[in-house]
Amino acid sequence: MNSPALSLRHNHFLNGGSALASGIRLPRSISSPFRVRMSLQENGPSVAVVGVTGAVGQEFLSVLSDRNFPYRSIKLLASKRSAGKSMKFEERDYTVEELTEDSFDGIDIALFSAGGSISKKFGPLAAQKGTIVVDNSSAFRMDENVPLVIPEVNPEAMAHVKLGSGKGALIANPNCSTIICLMAVTPLHRRAKVKRMVVSTYQAASGAGAAAMEELVQQTREVLEGKEPTCNIFNQQYAFNLFSHNAPIQPNGYNEEEMKLVKETRKIWSDKDVKVTATCIRVPVMRAHAESVNLQFENPLDENTARDILKNAPGIVVVDDRASNRFPTPLEVSNKDDVAVGRVRRDVSQDGDYGLDIFVCGDQIRKGAALNAVQIAEMLL
């Protein structure tokens, strides 16, 4: 929750701008004489954004604005250090308030992205006051009483949560890698049922927060200038390098990020028997993850049918041009809502049409975090 706010667009960094020097980034402004802003509505819910000065917190505001999410009031919450800062949202001035136990009086929906410890402390307190909390941390994802939701995948998991009922609730946002993976795989799973899934991820700096993004830029400049790179976030060179994901290693040899993919997939699909294995790698990309996914099905599914299914799936764009060797890239999906899928091909190591390989890219901050949370909030309206 103490992450500095920054501009998250690639061109900002490539042009040599300093993210930290720029201060709090404002959401993309969409002002046009032909468009009437309908977000501020007397009959809309009261909204709070927790961790508003961080990378995902800023993206919450951007997505709320982009999607004309209706609200009658919005409260911007952050750490004591950030309290008192002035921010402009949809042409109105707001003061960032310190997050306290009293912050959720009269709040209908709270979007949390302030880290697991903050969520564990304040999420249940907010729910007790009647607030519906959509939490982006890992704090509640595996709690059997908390729905873990991707709106395009398992909206039924939160059907019992009702806005205006007076009852608060916790809803968990899945991990970014899980969201991006299951957006692409679930439509195929519904057709042919996945027996086993092998995932290799290539994860961007944004997944480690704004400070990691800033350090990647700083390291890149330092290495190009022949200097020793500053290694405060990952304790090793990130620029022009890649390494095993920095999450803690578990007794089974997997790291936490890899086990999130395993456990969250089973919960979201309500299938404790599906076999999932993952290897997660951190790569020097700014804000979009890529994933190589190998699938084994119970029922046959040929690559042409799979491609057609994906073309008709919500939130998916197929980029699969073999003739020009054009497939999804992290750069092309950055700042985009849709998850891109390509390299759709039969797995030649399996007999018949019982296996496929696909390559998936998605914006980690947007669909992997903020957009998914706002879509959950939209389902409450």
Under DSSP, the state recorded for 237 is: -
Per DSSP, the chain holds a count of helices (H) and strands (E) of: 9, 15
Pairing, β 316-318 against β 339-346: parallel
Place of tokens 């400049």: 221
Q: Nearest to residue 349, comparing CAs of 182, 196, 184?
A: 196
Q: What does the angle CA 6 – CA 11 – CA 14 come to, to the nearest 5 degrees?
A: 95
Cα torsion 7, 13, 14, 18: sign = positive
Query: Would you say 331 and 284 are in contact if contact means Cβ atoms under 8 Å apart?
Result: no
Residue 47 φ/ψ, nearest 5 degrees = -125, 145
Question: Side by side, which strands form the sheet with 288-297?
Answer: 243-244, 275-282, 194-203, 288-297, 355-363, 339-346, 316-318
Q: Which residues pair with 341 in a beta bridge?
A: 318, 360
Query: Would you say 282 and 234 are in contact if contact means Cβ atoms under 8 Å apart?
Result: yes
Cα separation, 221 vs 266, in Å, equals 42
Q: Nearest to residue 278, comparing CAs of 252, 302, 259?
A: 259
Question: Side by side, which strands form the sheet with 73-78?
Answer: 97-98, 73-78, 46-50, 109-112, 132-135, 169-172
Instruction: For the chain, list the strands marked E by DSSP.
Output: 46-50, 73-78, 86-89, 92-95, 97-98, 109-112, 132-135, 169-172, 194-203, 243-244, 275-282, 288-297, 316-318, 339-346, 355-363
Catalytic annotation, residues: 176, 289
Altogether, the residues listed in the chain come to a count of 381
